[in-house]
Amino acid sequence: TRFYQASTSELYGQVQEIPQRETTPFYPRSPYAAAKLYAYWITVNYREAYGLYACNGILFNHESPLRGETFVTRKIT
């Protein structure tokens, strides 16, 4: 079994450095971000404690002015 935990750039909160790196400290500033941070660390814990194939991904905004006109988000804007 493989497990992927999709997280969010909200983990970083109000950042002090751009771009964020793997060494950038987490500073969640909302209940949503705090819950995602918990999910991040529990995934790390289970991977290390039980040898599970479990990984985290920290996703950032993936909208762009270059996105094609056929996407709903481009139709809204």
From the list 4, 17, 32, 38, the catalytic residue is: 32
Does 22 participate in catalysis according to the annotation?
no
Does 73 participate in catalysis according to the annotation?
no
Does 1 participate in catalysis according to the annotation?
no
From the list 10, 12, 40, 43, the catalytic residue is: 10
- What DSSP line would sit under 6-66, residue for residue? EEEGGGG-S-SSSS--TTSPP---SHHHHHHHHHHHHHHHHHHHH--EEEEEEE-----TT
Name the residues annotated as catalytic: 8, 10, 32
